[in-house]
A and B are shown apart, each in its own frame.
Chain A
């Protein structure tokens, strides 16, 4: 390692990353090298950084995490309950290491390619050069820089022009080891006119502390569509920091459903850039946390071109002494006329110690646009409660049902039925509803 990290914690996480084998692809080595250099130069964010104002990651920096070298031997029976019956392909990573025996990729429609990044980089690496480590910015994000410095493996979904993958591709990340750090990486390239659905699922077979630092990049070509379901169900002792960068070409469509149930401390950054005219975006978010959990969601919708449409609904249900953070940035650049962007942040606090910090951040530099936003933080609506009680439901039962409904509204829109059903049952159990 040539440079020395400014921060001892980052130095520890970077230890050995410079010694990893070089790729025959010069561009890839360059990007890793640049990421390593950037990670060395950056510091661990603190609450003095505007982007991390409400999220104190000190507990993360107190622990030492090691990457796992070999894939732990899991039987399918250990994780089968997380499989998605509708899925067309499944890639499983255990503690960040690809598990071929648990994965299944076969009989995909013409023009659809699902593989690991390493395989694709070996056979046809140049095709990935315009996208891999090109969309997720690491200038200001030490965690993306760390992930990219470690970039060797990951999940890849490529759709050739007009290819259709109606059934979802499932990327399942399983954490099993205490003190392990994983750097999941995912790249989706949906070329012109193609359509696909992706499920990224983060689950745990351990209740211990570990660290998941994930980066996903999604390039949606002209008139292509990507439906993206992201489920974060880490152990409640774990740390999860994930970034997803989405680039939209002309008339591209991107629909995101992000659900956060897990982790002691989690951070999810979703950065969407509308790079072509007329792109259409829907961003759904649901955070359901309790105990001492902290879940921070930062989204950026960058309307860099005209005629973009975006509808965002972000909901948080916060119980116990948990803390949810939401920052929703909507940027309408000069010239991005006729943008239609709306954002709703709805939050439900179930205990007097629960906390939410929500902040819409609209920056509008075009004059002929429609932008709306609203935020509510509160308890259940008295008229809704009265309606249910007038039908015989007890106060507790009515409150639980409304809490369940608050979350179920987002879950019901997830386009994969088995996933939605499973999540509904989780929320029912959490809210003691039995429907």
Chain B
């Protein structure tokens, strides 16, 4: 929901970044206010996932220029874990599997670590068990997922549910969901999107990184940004996503190149 008076949660200014010496992001600007849903769309290789990982603090991505502030704090002075504790969340496109560690124990460790860092009470195993089971209902997840190893042998849909479950537990101010819709059948997509919608409040915000419009039928964006060549080349509302669905990305890319020539 757009409220131009709402607090700015994320402010990205002229961000340029590289991976292994290759420049992937070439001047990104983005402002996300509390209560908003943003979608970043674009063809493969446009830099969407790089942008998501850079914000979360992946060590392979180097910031060359620019600034990112989370609620006014420069995130590049923070480590990945500090960003998470400060309220940034990345839902992974490919969540890693950790055989040997039970999902329940992992979720409790993450929850208590973040709670502790925010000066809130930690939960003992029994209290946490009750708490997490409530949250799992949001995502129609069976409690047996607590006993299994983290993401080990989970289907694509189960992994994505587990990501959103972590979002529910860590209560981020700003959640970036990277291709959360990929590999989901229509039923799983509905459940995952429903979970995200229930977590949205007027005080937090979500950035959806996606290749397809499909997810946006369920989580309705306030802004749709098109990314290409490491830049945001067009911004519109949800109708832009529908137009992209029917016409593809080429026309936006052409339009932006024409603009660049005339400029």
Cross-chain pair count, CB within 8 angstroms = 83
In the assembled complex, the CB of A405 is this many whole angstroms from the nearest CB of chain B, namely: 4
A2 within 8 A of B: no
Q: Which residues of A contact B96 (CB under 8 A)?
A: 381, 383-384, 387
Residue among A382, A388, A394, A404 making CB contact with B100, cutoff 8 Å: A404
A389-402 interface code vs B (CB 8 A; 1 in, 0 out): 11111110110011
Residue among A390, A404, A410 making CB contact with B84, cutoff 8 Å: A390
In the assembled complex, the CB of B242 is this many whole angstroms from the nearest CB of chain A, namely: 32
B21 within 8 A of A: no
Please state if B80 and A405 are interface contacts (CB–CB under 8 Å): no
CA distance A409 to B101 in the complex (A): 8
B56 within 8 A of A: yes
Task: Count residues of B near A (Cβ-Cβ below 8 Å).
Answer: 32
B109 within 8 A of A: yes
Please state if B59 and A392 are interface contacts (CB–CB under 8 Å): no
CA distance A160 to B1 in the complex (A): 74
CA distance A402 to B105 in the complex (A): 13
CA distance A389 to B108 in the complex (A): 14
Task: Specify which of A381, A386, A411 lies most central, judged by the most chain B CB atoms within 10 Å of its CB.
Answer: A386
In the assembled complex, the CB of B144 is this many whole angstroms from the nearest CB of chain A, namely: 15
CA distance A397 to B114 in the complex (A): 13
Q: Which residues of A contact B114 (CB under 8 A)?
A: 391-392
In the assembled complex, the CB of B205 is this many whole angstroms from the nearest CB of chain A, namely: 18
A107 within 8 A of B: no
Task: Specify which of B56, B58, B79, B109 lies most central, judged by the most chain A CB atoms within 10 Å of its CB.
Answer: B109
A382-B60, A386-B59, A389-B80 given as contacts; is B102 within 8 A of A435 (CB)?
yes
A87 within 8 A of B: no
Residue among A389, A398, A407 making CB contact with B57, cutoff 8 Å: A389
Residue among A381, A392, A407 making CB contact with B81, cutoff 8 Å: A392
CB closest chain-A residue, reference B97: A384
Q: Which residues of A contact B113 (CB under 8 A)?
A: 391-394, 397
Please state if A382 and B59 are interface contacts (CB–CB under 8 Å): yes
Q: Which residues of B contact A435 (CB under 8 A)?
A: 101-102, 105, 108-109
Please state if B56 and A390 are interface contacts (CB–CB under 8 Å): yes
CA distance A97 to B56 in the complex (A): 60
CA distance A386 to B56 in the complex (A): 9
Q: Which residues of B contact A390 (CB under 8 A)?
A: 56-57, 80-81, 83-84, 89-90, 92
